[in-house]
Amino acid sequence: MKEVTKNIIKKDAFGLMLGKPVYTNDLAPKDSLIVKILRSPHAFAKIKHIDISEAEKIEGIECILTYKDVPKNPITRAGQGHPEPSPHDWYILDEYVRYVGDEVAIVAGKNENAVTKALKKIKVEYEIFEPVLDFEKAEEHSSIIHPEKEAHSMFEIGFNAPKNIAASYEMQIGDIEEELKKCEVVVKERFYTQAQAHVAFEPHSATSYIDMHGRLVIISSTQVPFHVRRIISEAFDIPIRNIRVIKPRIGGGFGGKQAVHGEPFVAAVTLKTGKPAKLIYTRQEVFESTYRRHCMRFDVTLGATKDGKLKVIDMEGLSDTGAYGEHALTTFMVAGSKTLPLYNKVNAVRFKGKVVYTNTVPAGAYRGYGAIQANFALESALDILSQKLGIDPVELRKKNMMNEGETSPIFKIMGEGREGAEMIIKSCKLNECIEEGMKLIGWKEKYPRIKVSETKVRGVGMAIAMQGSGIANIDMASAILKLNDDGSFNLLIGATDLGTGSDTILAQMAAEILNVSTENIIVYSSDTDLTPFDTGAYASSTTYVSGHAVQLAAEKMKKLIIKEGAKKLEIPEEKADFDGEFIYEKDGNKRVSLKELATVLYYTENQKQLVADASYVGKESPPPYMAGFAEVEVDIETGKVKLINYVGVVDCGVTINPNLAKVQIEGGIVQGIGMALFEDVKYTQNGKLLTNNLMNYKIPSRMDIGNIIVKFVESYEPSGPFGAKSVGEIGIDTPPAAIANAIYNAVGVRITQLPITPEKILNAIK
């Protein structure tokens, strides 16, 4: 390998470091109208009357729009495959408001002061309803959050608006009850995971204008530009051909931008006024009015023999989707499909549950996407089982976990919103991950605990995890390669770089095939007019799915170069080859440089543009695997937890760019640590979000996370481009369970509800 597996610097690194204008707000037209949203102060209400007359008189105000001024087409904001598995239950503006922060009116003006004044002048009369704030009581609550007749699900899987159910799902293999009777040891436990905010440093941003052809152009900080185009088309009844969406650089997304957020509001203003408009969310709006992680409850039952053979896994869940059903079904199904195959030797397995509406901030996609919630429950329950059996938790996992060459019926049964795809695991180095992790953490020397002093005890804990590489038979990516007249190449891709470096690794793949330097690949991505289709950056799909498309396009380009070079050299095509610099005669002395060939092709001889394109849809979704090990120090007088070391050992196939892969794992681990120990979303009794700023919402700093060690085991995935699998999400999954298990091993208390705070530990100890 000359370019792949190398630590090549990100293509956008220097531009970002030098502060170049590359983000949405930088690129907004200078005369853009400032757009702000009047938001609901109530968790659940119906708008009886809106008076905008005084607000319209303020100098500089261009337009004020209410639900009466925009189309009423039910859509889902979720940027997912079509037909969407999420319910169509959201409107650009509606007469109902369903959470504190929901949109009431759109205000646009020439300057921020005018718009801020106008927001205060709008008078709204509400009919207030009792909100549904407890997701465990939502199904039986008297308030119906979505009474509108237009709300519907494309799949009708468990959607039941009168019961506040956005989705439900159930699957079973084997006879759970009969198999449990045969088990010598049974564990039953309930676990809770909390909502979690994404806290991407760039807030959600969108700007829009009408181009010279009368088409609507949207520049957006989005993970899913092609989905945004389709959703805006549906919401406004505008043909897709009349919409262009451009994704510039993004300052983080983590799933929070896998949807439309501000785009419909700037579009509404531009369509009404004909003028450019921009909406930059405040940090408070990001917290209160975009997305958060689905909080979930899981009841886990495990059955096993005395010698540690796992026979039964039974998981029943309840998920809180908030005010709208975005990603409701898919996150819940992933909670099962990306955890249960880890233990593929059971006789019976069941996964079932419901996703309910509440009058809280909508839940949506977030890195880990359901898998992290279920992983915390299952991997914590495995440790409880190991304690009952008196077996080392590492050995219990080794005895029951997935191995290379094996499969699970769950792969076929459970996809994302629909059936999955059968799959034999061709690469699984979980055992090697565990062995390496044990060495790095010092498991044999430290398990289960070491007493540091009279008041402080250290413990170690571990967990394993799997994720996926795109959504099989659904996710599609495409790529175009164009040869320039100096011998360089343009790579046009719909794939969306969120700061992950996907532009760079895809260029590395193309360069490897063409045997040229990555510097010779000029990347342009994520513009629905100029780049080919790609479903977007989610489901850990870019390296595997988009990478395949790039690889195929590069192979086509290489053949085209050889074909045209052979013509130039006047030799048969089969006698020519290309080494990245020259097209040459295999058994002779004739050769022509790529630069010379490109020049004559475009200016003098056999003139033609060389363009290669390719598309790819994954037929399977090979999982990356991870073993996570935590070492904690617990103060038994205060309950305070100090994370000393966290070790993550990962099998993601071949690492296309090892440094960028490492950064992905480190970032995921830190977010998982945040979920385990620090982050929580809290509301008042009336449904107002309390943790709506970075003073009240605690994310871990460098001082909180101890020493993080990341290592990759040598692995090769035959179905992946250059042997690669995904790496984007797997890092986040193990910290909650590994840390909870380490705390138990240190002080003997089992915390089953995240986040694990000193108060919970101290109360449990007492």
Tokens of 697: 């919402």
CB 416 within 8 A of CB 539: yes
Are 624 and 598 members of one domain?
Answer: no
Tokens 């996926």 correspond to what residue? 468
CB 553 within 8 A of CB 614: yes
Q: What is the pLDDT averaged over residues 488-494?
A: 98
Q: Is residue 439 assigned to a domain?
A: yes
Is 653 within 8 Å of 723 (Cβ atoms)? yes
Q: Are 537 and 80 in contact, with CB atoms under 8 Å apart?
A: no
Comparing CA positions, the residue from 336, 323, 419, 333 lying closest to residue 76 is 323
User: Is residue 216, in this structure, part of any structural domain at all?
Assistant: yes
Give the residue-averaged pLDDT of 634-645. 98
702 Cβ partners below 8 Å, 6+ apart? none
Question: 747 and 670 in one domain?
Answer: yes
Q: What does the pLDDT read at residue 560?
A: 98
Does residue 143 form part of some domain? no
Q: Strand 348-357 vs strand 310-322: parallel, antiparallel, or unpaired?
A: parallel
What pLDDT does 157 receive? 77
Residues 219, 209: Cα–Cα separation, whole Å: 9
Beta strands in 498-574 (DSSP E): 521-525
Average pLDDT, the chain: 97
Q: How far apart are alpha carbons 171 and 418 in whole angstroms?
A: 12
CA distance 386 to 697: 35
The reply to whether 629 and 651 lie within a common domain is: yes
The residue segments making up the domain with residue 488 are 476-617
Tell me if 711 sits within 8 A of 448, measured CB to CB. no
- 27 inside domain: yes
Decide if 108 contacts 30 (C-beta within 8 A). Answer: no
Pick the last residue of a domain from 617, 638, 660. Answer: 617
* pLDDT of 547 over the 70 cut: yes
How far, CA to CA in Å, does 739 sit from each of 295, 303, 378? 19, 24, 14
Contact between 678 and 640 (Cβ < 8 Å):
no
- Long-range pairs for 63-66 at CB < 8 Å and ≥24 separation? 63/106, 63/107, 63/108, 63/269, 63/272, 63/273, 64/105, 64/106, 64/107, 64/108, 64/118, 64/122, 65/93, 65/105, 65/106, 65/268, 65/269, 65/272, 66/93, 66/104, 66/105, 66/106
Indicate whether 732 and 657 sit together in one domain.
Answer: yes
Same domain? 520 vs 449: no
In this predicted structure, what is the pLDDT of residue 155? 77
| 388 plus 353 within the same structural domain | yes
Domain end among 617, 633, 648: 617
Reference 654, options 3, 4, 2; nearest CA is 4
Structure tokens belonging to residue 269: 């203003």
Q: Are residues 529 and 601 in the same domain?
A: yes
As a whole number of angstroms, the longest Cα–Cα distance in the chain is: 87
**Is there a contact between 94 and 323 (Cβ–Cβ < 8 Å)?**
no
Structure tokens at 577: 């080859």
| CA 67 distance to own-chain centroid | 31
What are phi and psi for residue 248, nearest 5 degrees?
-85, -155
Domain CATH code at residue 215: 3.90.1170.50
Looking at the fold, whether 662 and 589 belong to one and the same domain comes out as no
41: nearest Cα among 128, 142, 137:
128
CB proximity list for 241: less than 8 A, separation 6 or greater: none
Average pLDDT over residues 627-650: 98
- In this prediction, what percent of the chain has a pLDDT beyond 70? 100
Radius of gyration of the chain (CA): 27
pLDDT surpasses 70 at 89? yes
Question: Rounded to an integer, what distance in angstroms lies between the CA atom of residue 329 and that of residue 86?
Answer: 7
Which helix (H) or strand (E) segment holds residue 287: the answer is helix 283-289
**pLDDT of 30 over the 70 cut:** yes
Q: Are residues 509 and 552 in the same domain?
A: yes
Dist CA 738 CA 362 (whole Å): 28
Report the alpha-carbon distance of residue 379 to residue 143 in Å, rounded. Answer: 36
Other Cβ atoms less than 10 A from the Cβ of 643: the count is 21
End-to-end CA distance of the chain, in Å? Answer: 58
Query: Based on the number of CB atoms within 10 Å of its own CB, is 527 exposed (0-12), middle (13-18) or buried (19 or more)?
Result: middle
Query: Is it the case that residue 156 has pLDDT exceeding 70?
Result: no
| Residue pair 276/269 in contact by the 8 Å Cβ criterion | no
Summarize pLDDT for 558-580 with one digit per residue, the tens: 999 999 999 999 999 999 999 99
DSSP E strands: which ranges in 707-761?
707-712
Last residue of a domain, one of 289, 307, 334: 289
For residue range 359-368, what is the model confidence (pLDDT) as tens digits? 999 999 999 9
Q: Is residue 136 part of a domain?
A: no
pLDDT tens by residue, 688-704: 999 999 999 999 999 99
- Beta-carbon neighbour count of residue 765 at 10 Å? 13
- Determine the Cα–Cα distance for residues 561 and 487; give it in Å rounded to an integer: 10
Give CA angle at 298 (374, 690), nearest 5°.
90
Identity of residue 133: L
* Cα–Cα distance, 263 to 266 (Å, whole number): 6
Assess if residue 320 is contained within a domain: yes
Sign of CA dihedral 578, 582, 583, 587: negative
Same domain, 276 and 307: no
For residues 706 and 645, is the Cβ–Cβ distance under 8 A? Answer: yes
Q: How far apart are CA 154 and CA 686, in angstroms?
A: 32
Q: Which residue has the higher pLDDT, 78 or 158?
A: 78
- pLDDT at position 125 is 98
Domain count across the chain: 3
d(CA 227, CA 374): 28
Whole-angstrom distance, CA of residue 694 vs CA of residue 699: 8
Kind plus residue range of the DSSP H or E element containing 763: helix 758-765
Domain assignment present for residue 527? The answer is: yes
7 domain residue, yes or no: no
> What pLDDT does 743 receive?
98
Residue type, 453: S
208 and 92, same structural domain? Answer: yes
CA distances from 605 to 487, 519, 560, 567 (A): 16, 27, 15, 10
Q: Is the peptide bond prior to 448 cis by the omega test (within 30 degrees of 0)?
A: yes
Structure tokens at 204: 């959600």
- pLDDT digit string, tens, across residues 313-363: 999 999 999 999 999 999 999 999 999 999 999 999 999 999 999 999 999
Same domain, 562 and 674: no
CATH assignment at residue 511: 3.30.365.10
Question: Does residue 417 surpass a pLDDT of 90?
Answer: no
pTM of the predicted protein model? 0.97
Parallel, antiparallel or unpaired: strands 456-466 and 449-451: antiparallel
Q: How far is CA 668 from CA 287, 496, 706, in A?
A: 20, 18, 15
Residues 114-134: pLDDT tens digits?
999 999 999 999 999 999 999
